[in-house]
Copies of this chain bind each other. A is one copy, B any other.
Amino acid sequence: MEYFPAPLEKLVEQFARLPGIGSKSAQRLAFHVLNLPMEQAQEFANAIVEAKQKVTLCPICRNLTAGGPCPICANPKRDESLLCVVADPRDVIAMERAREFHGRYHVLHGVLSPMNHVGPDDLQIKPLVDRVAQGGIREVIMATNPDTEGETTALYLARLLKPFGVKVTRLAYGIPVGGHLEFADDATLTRALEGRQEL
C-alpha cells in the first residue's frame, strides 16, 4: 500500500532515528508536529539548526558554550587551581546543582571504552594535559562515573597527570544519602567500608 504521504514518512523516519524512539512513538511525534501551527514547527526546525550552529566547546574546559569561554571559565571567582574532570556536560550541571564545588571543570566528552572503540584521542584529554602542564593547578578531582569505564578513565588520567606534580583525587564511593544499607550492593558496601571515616 500507499503508506503516509512521502513528506510525512520522511519526518517519521527522522524521529525514529532518535535514541529511544521506536516506530510507534516516531509516528506519534510526527503527527504532533503536523498538527502544530506552522510558526511553531518552524521554531522547532530553527532550534535544531541553531543549536548545531551556535553551540561550541569552551576553548578552556571543553564544556558546551554559545561561543567564547563558558560562563564558569569566565567567572573570576572560581578557583583556578582546582579542576574537576567529568565525562559529560550534564555532569557539570549535576555538580553545580550540589553548589559545593567552586573550582573549574574539564569535560572529556566520553570515557575510554575499547569495546566501543573510544581511545584517548577521541576524548578531550590532550587539552586537559595541556592545562595541567601550564601549571597553576594544585588538584585534579576525577568525577567520572563509578563504573568500569569511568574507573579506567580516571586511573589512566591519574597516571598521565601525576608526572606534573599535581594531586589527583577521586570522588568518594559509599552509601548514597537517603539510601538503605539493606539495598546497597556488595561492591558499594565494600567501598563504603574501605572509605570509612573517623567520627
State the A residues within 8 Å of B (CB): 1-8, 10-11, 13-14, 18-21, 25, 27-34, 36, 38, 41-55, 64-66, 70-72, 89-90, 93, 96-97
- Check B51 against A2 for contact (C-beta < 8 Å): no
A70 to B13, CA, bound (A): 21
Q: How many copies does the complex hold?
A: 2
A20-B25 contact in complex given A34-B51, A45-B49, C-beta closer than 8 Å: yes
- Check B47 against A93 for contact (C-beta < 8 Å): no
* 28 A-B pairs with C-beta separation under 8 A: A2-B71, A2-B72, A4-B64, A4-B89, A5-B55, A5-B65, A5-B70, A6-B66, A7-B53, A8-B55, A8-B64, A10-B47, A13-B47, A14-B43, A14-B44, A14-B47, A14-B48, A18-B32, A19-B29, A20-B25, A20-B29, A30-B51, A33-B48, A38-B53, A41-B49, A42-B49, A45-B45, A45-B48
Chain B residues within an 8 Å CB radius of A29: 18-21
Interface centre among A2, A27, A50, A96 (most CB of B within 10 A): A2
- Check B10 against A20 for contact (C-beta < 8 Å): no
A19 to B31, CA, bound (A): 10
Beyond A7-B54, A30-B51, 12 additional contacts (C-beta under 8 Å) are A5-B54, A5-B55, A7-B51, A8-B55, A10-B47, A11-B50, A14-B47, A18-B29, A19-B28, A20-B25, A34-B52, A45-B49
